Amino acid sequence: MGDLHGLVFDDAVRRNPEIFSAVGRNQEIPGGGESLDQLSQRCVSYLNTVAEKHKGDRVIVVTHGASTEELCLHADPTSPVRGKLFNTSICIFRIGGCEWILEKAGDVGHLGKGGFMEDAFGRAGASA
């Protein structure tokens, strides 16, 4: 995240509003941050490596929201996930060779147990 590392989104916007207007898919974040294209390439490459190593297996990968969004968009460029994935949501990909299928995106059904979604952070469905 370059100069934005360690900041929550609202603080990052207040501190450097010009970064958000200047950064595009292929433009790096000032201070050593990746562009979205670089993030996507890194994440897709890694998941392809994991899929190749574990053919036929089910594998769990835990990652951050931006990485998850990029993986979902790689598997399904028409997916409406941008900015809509809750923390701890589950996405399921089926990867075979160069083919990626996004089977599920943003599932939070596991959070409904015990009233978590109703009580989380003071508002229904919010996780941050």
**Model pLDDT, residue 118:** 57
The domain spans of the chain are: 56-122
Quick one: pLDDT at residue 4?
A: 66
Residue 76 has a pLDDT of 94
CB neighbours of residue 103 within 10 Å:
11
* DSSP string covering 64-99: -HHHHHHHHHHH-TT---TTTPPTT-EEEEEEETTE
pTM for this entry: 0.72
| pLDDT the model gives residue 115 | 60
pLDDT at 14: 80
Interatomic CA distance for residues 22 and 29, integer angstroms: 9
pLDDT in tens, the chain (128 residues): 666 677 776 777 787 776 666 556 666 666 667 778 888 999 999 999 999 999 989 999 999 888 999 999 999 999 888 888 888 899 999 998 779 999 999 998 888 766 655 555 544 444 44
